[in-house]
Structure 1
């Protein structure tokens, strides 16, 4: 037996023991709860209790939290199995940015943590030696998470339309390689990621540029095509560093980072603010405090990780960090791109814009049936002068279970049966609907809210079931009724 085969065998045995431990923990906790939601049909078709759109980390955590409460959830994901979310596709960092000890989607179960999964295969010493979690190893962990919890995921199922109905159901128009069909669900969860309600925030200067000469950092891109080319990267955040490093590692002739700020931010304020008080208390804060906290974090911005930045700078002198260098305009020329900035004109063959994401309903035609009716924070709150923030204003104003709310009550019946469990819910709920640190808190909050609302809808049926419940605790042979005491018998 080769050393590689022996190592693989040891890892399998370690995982098998961990899975037995997890099964025992779930048994001790009486989880998952027995299924209890009243079944429904529509035109002879079974109605799903919950449909989750997106099989990445948030979708898996939401589905798992619902399953533990006895609610069946079905996940639809357009990607092939193992390619859900960004980890194995558009993400280009070497490691995760989050500290390795964060428990992520484990839902309070120690045996479900990444650490338990890692140590089962590689041992405690390797865990102690680990700095950050490898990106593809995180994807492998999520694949295991899905398998060990037996979550219902339908891969290569694209959702073409989500239509809330006045009868309380939501219709999903589904497309696979073979067919198109409709399914109906009582609740729909949008676990659609960072750009979950829109797409890239594209700067105006890319208008009119040939698509072959630029890409957004979230695009699928074959970086080998950038070998021996001059590359410019707009931005100074994490995705900018990841794109620049990947281009350099693919053999780019040079990379110019064009960074608007005069200096890179040095402190991750969001990390410093993270604590259970904020995690559990943000959603109950007054509007002005919610806005103030999120706007401050947006304004000071998050620095790129040290490791990601060093990954770029080690390619000096092929890379240049151009600070205080916002892009004013870009021209397409016979020799490539002429990028005009206050510090002069940069020549490049290819441009990568790392400019983040925005809520943009036009980029999500599958949500067209309900998007115009959603209440946003612009409808709810007017910030003080000078604190305007387009990202926050465009964010949906969602309810306690992440449900969308109507801008005008009555205009879109059934809208509240669609739940926003992705990044744009952050202003309403805090950072619990997409990022690793508090994803379990968010998933539990979502699942508890959905479970409660499903029970309320069916309370008459549950009460009828309560009345009809007839499993005896006593059979009548456990005791003998006493005769009446003599003093009472005389009075009769």
Structure 2
């Protein structure tokens, strides 16, 4: 539903909300003053305390949490232009978010920073009550406001090409039009890089024989207008596959055929049934056996696409769902893309891979040269035969602070300074570093751990500061010494 309001009403509403945010922060004395001792490299280069890769919702709530904690010497780098951070205006193609509108998201415990507060400030309570799901572009508008009202230090159009150790620090090689220099130094690095944060789009081997012009992954920049009149084949039936199929149909595709390995459509989102405050807080402390069991079950049952998105596709008569129809091979025959499936041959003009993302640290160019030293789940846990899962085994085995750990102790000690605040941490810590419901909880864990680490690393300087502190609370004129009275 689209709700309109006059520009004057919108501006006045948001400005009032901005004042409310500032008042809420002031009441809690936030952001705190910086308490982390400054450092400089031997050659005079500036050293950041924390650099965040990614200016989307996870990167922003992490930045706000750091500032609120009094860790002020930070920077956020995002490869996209301002307003295009994260997937929302790039490869996300759903009409609305799956998450309920009432979730607090990146608000970090502040009611004034919620989507609801932002929406009501502009459109009023009646419009909020009438709103069903959050339109995707509106969520991006909210995140842009969140960045602005909190004055988050984000540099856009900056790529972090490579990260390497430099003594006790990390050196980040930068590129892009927004980069102020070719490299920066930091004590801590947070990878708030979203769904593909510790991997890459999952590309099945059967597309290797096809020219790139005839296929794309759902994470690619697809020209859907060019698919008008075309026979489109979609592999997979997850949310991204459904959303991309809808875009193709709405742009005039002649037909869209889903090729689905499963015998039937998944219909139950199991994670909705287990999500609770207890799960969020308790999952990370479970044994490896329990954590593996939960995530394995989540993977094998699969999350269904949202009902609204599925109806968006099925209302088209030229959309076809083919189950028990896994792809065996592909080839080009004249102008046709030909797929051999479990049920026979399928021909089309363009292939869309709705196959999701894989977690594989070796695929990250930022970690090139030492990604193989990161401890993975397969390195430290052997599941029962009936629960074996190669995909789960590739997830990094991170600590409660989201930090990578070494596969071989002593081989890469700097890994503890790189924090995996993205999808890659989900097997170790649960849904607290990517999905909207738990990101504020995750940011709190992350920043509390970083703050503790900084204080412990600088304990000698804090001890000296403790001893040197000499600002008196009493000035000497508050009392008068009296002799004891003489004994009677």
Which TM class, normalised by the smaller chain length? over 0.9
Any idea what the Cα deviations from partners look like across 1:249-300, whole Å, max 9, x if unmatched?
Answer: 1110100011111111111100110001110111100110000001000010
Q: Distance in 2 between matches of 1:148 and 1:416?
A: 32
Q: Which residue of structure 1 aligns with residue 25 of structure 2?
A: 26
Q: Distance in 2 between matches of 1:255 and 1:436?
A: 31
- Residues 164 and 413 in structure 1, CA contact (< 8 A), matched pair in contact too: no
Q: Distance in 2 between matches of 1:369 and 1:347?
A: 42
Q: Which residue of structure 2 aligns with residue 412 of structure 1?
A: 412
Any idea what the Cα deviations from partners look like across 1:62-98, whole Å, max 9, x if unmatched?
Answer: 1111111011221001111010111011100001011
Q: What is the TM-score normalised by the length of structure 2?
A: 0.97
- Residues 168 and 417 in structure 1, CA contact (< 8 A), matched pair in contact too: no
Q: Which residue of structure 2 aligns with residue 315 of structure 1?
A: 316
Q: Which residue of structure 2 aligns with residue 479 of structure 1?
A: 479
- Residues 164 and 370 in structure 1, CA contact (< 8 A), matched pair in contact too: no
Q: Distance in 2 between matches of 1:19 and 1:259?
A: 48
Q: Distance in 2 between matches of 1:283 and 1:120?
A: 37
Is it true that 1:243 corresponds to 2:244 in the alignment? yes
Q: Distance in 2 between matches of 1:362 and 1:427?
A: 18
Stretches of structure 1 lacking an aligned partner (at least 5 in a row): none
Any idea what the Cα deviations from partners look like across 1:154-194, whole Å, max 9, x if unmatched?
Answer: 101111111123x3211101112387511000100001110
Is it true that 1:467 corresponds to 2:467 in the alignment? yes
Q: Which residue of structure 2 aligns with residue 145 of structure 1?
A: 146
Q: Distance in 1 between matches of 2:155 and 2:25?
A: 25
Counting only pairs closer than 5 Å after superposition, residues 6-85 of structure 1 correspond to structure 2 as 7-42=6-41, 43-72=43-72, 73-85=74-86
| Cα deviation, residue 220, structure 1 | 1.1
Q: Distance in 2 between matches of 1:206 and 1:224?
A: 23
Q: Distance in 2 between matches of 1:23 and 1:157?
A: 29
Is it true that 1:214 corresponds to 2:196 in the alignment? no
Q: Which residue of structure 1 aligns with residue 121 of structure 2?
A: 120
- Bigger mean CA offset, 353-362 vs 257-266: 353-362
Q: Distance in 2 between matches of 1:391 and 1:103?
A: 31
Q: Distance in 2 between matches of 1:124 and 1:390?
A: 48
Q: Distance in 2 between matches of 1:110 and 1:27?
A: 14
- Residues 214 and 353 in structure 1, CA contact (< 8 A), matched pair in contact too: yes
Counting only pairs closer than 5 Å after superposition, residues 380-459 of structure 1 correspond to structure 2 as 380-459=380-459
Root mean square deviation, CA, Å:
1.4
Q: Distance in 2 between matches of 1:32 and 1:361?
A: 34
| Cα deviation, residue 362, structure 1 | 4.2
Name the SS of the counterpart of 1:441 in structure 2.
helix
| Cα deviation, residue 323, structure 1 | 1.2
Taking a change above 3 Å as real, the CA distance of residues 215 and 459 of structure 1, as seen in their structure-2 partners, is same
Q: Distance in 2 between matches of 1:56 and 1:433?
A: 12
- Residues 230 and 253 in structure 2, CA contact (< 8 A), matched pair in contact too: yes
Name the SS of the counterpart of 1:173 in structure 2.
strand
Q: Distance in 1 between matches of 2:62 and 2:449?
A: 12
| Cα deviation, residue 391, structure 1 | 2.3
- Residues 173 and 181 in structure 1, CA contact (< 8 A), matched pair in contact too: yes
Name the SS of the counterpart of 1:328 in structure 2.
strand
- Bigger mean CA offset, 402-411 vs 333-342: 333-342
Provide the aligned length of Structure 1 versus Structure 2. 483
Name the SS of the counterpart of 1:438 in structure 2.
helix
Q: Which residue of structure 2 aligns with residue 157 of structure 1?
A: 158
Name the SS of the counterpart of 2:386 in structure 1.
coil
Q: Distance in 2 between matches of 1:13 and 1:178?
A: 32
Q: Distance in 2 between matches of 1:246 and 1:190?
A: 31
Any idea what the Cα deviations from partners look like across 1:215-274, whole Å, max 9, x if unmatched?
Answer: 011111111111100000011110110011000011101000111111111111001100
Q: Distance in 1 between matches of 2:165 and 2:93?
A: 36
Name the SS of the counterpart of 2:182 in structure 1.
strand
- Residues 162 and 369 in structure 1, CA contact (< 8 A), matched pair in contact too: no
Q: What is the TM-score normalised by the length of structure 1?
A: 0.96
Q: Distance in 2 between matches of 1:406 and 1:469?
A: 40
Any idea what the Cα deviations from partners look like across 1:407-464, whole Å, max 9, x if unmatched?
Answer: 1111113210110000010011111000000010001110111111011100100111
Name the SS of the counterpart of 2:93 in structure 1.
coil
- Residues 255 and 319 in structure 2, CA contact (< 8 A), matched pair in contact too: yes
Q: Distance in 2 between matches of 1:345 and 1:453?
A: 58
